[in-house]
Amino acid sequence: MRAPNVPHTLLIDRIGVLVTNDPGNGPGALGRVEDAALVVADGRVSWIGPAAGAPAADVRVDADGRCLIPGFVDSHSHIVFAGDRSAEFAARMSGRPYQAGGIRTTVAATREATDAQLRAGAVRLFHEARAQGTTTLEIKTGYGLTTADEERCARIAAQLTDEVTFLGAHVVPPEYADDPAGYTALVTGDMLTACAPHARWIDVFCENGAFDADAARTILAAGREHGLLPRVHGNQLGPGPGVALAVEAGAASVDHCTYLSAQDVAALAEAATRSDPTVATLLPGVDFSTRQPYPDARALIDAGATVALAGDCNPGSCFTSSIAFCIALAVRETGMTPDEALWAATAGGAAALRRSDVGALRVGARADMVLLDAPDPVYLAYRPGVPQVAAVWKDGVLAAG
């Protein structure tokens, strides 16, 4: 049943540039339509065409020459947590390296927090992201690392999104420091059983200091047995087996990809041709906040890999909820064109979540849209750090602006 305040039809007209991401134009091509209009009916895009020919609707919004883009699809976040690691960030900016072990600081604080505190923090970050144009947000567990704490993090995440990822395999918690195999057994046993009903995905941090390829393979296979689809954190802190493992496991995405070998790039290019591709998701906000090198998006795209951009909002390696900031970084630092970066943060994110209903504005797609206070989407990178979101619609309903 339709809520009483949801208009039956919404017309947005006098759109200066409409970004459709029409798949007919291929990855990275925005499918721009100039001087366009778009109609929404029952939460879906129902008509796109020249402004002059637009049908009437219950509600009309005059875009006044500004651009309308698909809402950002942020396929990677860790927003269910407690505690603060700003001192760790400050220490890094004075030369201390980033280490995965910092995750344990957040684990300790998260275990101490009440459900209400965890929920309030996640809700705040979720709405912060929404107000900046993120209309689909994946949310991971991974700061509980006991069965009860992972289960409540997954439950809280599921109250905010359909894209919940079980990341019990984030790091080995201190109580299992001498028994990492015992922790893998817990993750693939009781913890997985408790979390799987809330989740769509299973993820593993496959990196030195976290989980090796054998443990990661075991964990992803156990997730599949519970109906969870694999995704991987890999090649973040150095070269390693994450990408190869993700491609072997048929993961929807391998995220970070900061340190890639030529073989990794070739494997991702091959995986992009499959019916269920493995996407390379870049998280340049992490490389910014950890003072790491940036990934080479140019090499990936030129080789034929499908590249997504995501935020990785978390208290340790990257505490931003701004996809516009990530787009600006990707353009400046990873070799992406402005068009490729916007595509990667919308259609690319949708590919990384294996979603065909979001990330594009075509007839039948969800009316998840952002009106930018800008005449062209290049302004996202051209005016870094400047708020340019005039309005956000989720399923055709005004969510911000």
- Footprint on this chain of ligand NIG (rule: CB under 6 A): 78, 102-103, 106, 205, 233, 236, 286, 312, 314-317
Q: Is 317 annotated as a binding residue?
A: yes
* Residue count, binding to Fe ion (CB under 5 A): 1
Backbone Cα Rg of the chain: 21
Q: Is 379 annotated as a binding residue?
A: no
What is the C-alpha separation between 49 and 60, in angstroms, rounded? 15
Nearer to Fe ion, 310 or 381 (CB): 310
In terms of Cα–Cα distance, which of 324, 361, 398 is closest to 74? Answer: 324
Strands (E), 117-252: 134-137, 139-140, 164-169, 201-206, 229-234
Nearer to Fe ion, 203 or 264 (CB): 203
Query: Is 264 near Fe ion (CB under 5 A)?
Result: no
Determine which helix (DSSP H) or strand (DSSP E) holds 288, and give its type and residue range.
Answer: helix 284-289
Q: Is 395 annotated as a binding residue?
A: no
Q: What's the min distance (Å) between Cβ of 312 and ligand NIG?
A: 5
Assess contact for 327 and 341: CB atoms under 8 A.
Answer: yes
Q: What's the min distance (Å) between Cβ of 106 and ligand NIG?
A: 5
Q: Is 314 annotated as a binding residue?
A: yes
Query: Is 312 near Fe ion (CB under 5 A)?
Result: yes
Assess contact for 253 and 277: CB atoms under 8 A.
Answer: no
Q: How many CA atoms lie within 13 A of 377 on its CB side?
A: 32
Q: Among ligand NIG, Fe ion, none, what binds residue 338 when CB lies within 5 to 8 Å by partner kind? A: none
Q: What's the min distance (Å) between Cβ of 157 and ligand NIG?
A: 15
Query: Is 150 near Fe ion (CB under 5 A)?
Result: no
Decide: helix, strand or coil at residue 12. strand
Nearer to ligand NIG, 126 or 143 (CB): 143
Q: Among Fe ion, ligand NIG, none, what binds residue 317 when CB lies within 5 to 8 Å by partner kind? A: ligand NIG
99, exposed or middle or buried, with CB in 10 Å at 0-12, 13-18, 19+?
A: middle
Assess contact for 209 and 99: CB atoms under 8 A.
Answer: yes
Spell out the residues 6+ positions from residue 369 whose beta carbon is closer than 8 angstroms to its own. 12, 38, 68, 69, 70, 71, 135, 361, 392, 393
Q: Among Fe ion, ligand NIG, none, what binds residue 173 when CB lies within 5 to 8 Å by partner kind? A: none
Assess contact for 228 and 196: CB atoms under 8 A.
Answer: yes
Q: What's the min distance (Å) between Cβ of 314 and ligand NIG?
A: 4
Complete DSSP assignment for 126-159: HHHHHHTTEEEE-EE--S--SHHHHHHHHHHHHT
Nearer to Fe ion, 151 or 312 (CB): 312
Nearer to ligand NIG, 205 or 379 (CB): 205
Q: Among Fe ion, ligand NIG, none, what binds residue 106 when CB lies within 5 to 8 Å by partner kind? A: ligand NIG
Q: Among Fe ion, ligand NIG, none, what binds residue 370 when CB lies within 5 to 8 Å by partner kind? A: none
Q: What's the min distance (Å) between Cβ of 76 and ligand NIG?
A: 7
Q: What's the min distance (Å) between Cβ of 171 and ligand NIG?
A: 8
Query: Is 287 near Fe ion (CB under 5 A)?
Result: no
The Cα angle at residue 123 between residues 121 and 125, in degrees rounded to 5: 70
Q: Give the torsion through C-alpha atoms of 285, 384, 137, 304, to 10 deg.
A: -70
What is the C-alpha separation between 141 and 183, in angstroms, rounded? 16
Nearer to ligand NIG, 142 or 338 (CB): 142
Q: What's the min distance (Å) between Cβ of 235 and ligand NIG?
A: 11
Q: Is 316 annotated as a binding residue?
A: yes
Query: Is 368 near Fe ion (CB under 5 A)?
Result: no
What is the C-alpha separation between 199 and 196, in angstroms, rounded? 5
Q: Is 78 annotated as a binding residue?
A: yes
Q: What's the min distance (Å) between Cβ of 182 and ligand NIG?
A: 21
Q: Is 85 annotated as a binding residue?
A: yes
Tokens standing for residue 350: 């949708």
Nearer to ligand NIG, 103 or 369 (CB): 103
Q: Is 143 annotated as a binding residue?
A: yes
Residue closest to ligand NIG when measured from CB atoms = 316
Footprint on this chain of Fe ion (rule: CB under 5 A)? 312
Binding-site residue set for N-formimidoyl-L-glutamate: 143, 314, 316
Binding-site residue set: 76, 78, 85, 143, 170, 233, 236, 312, 314, 316-317
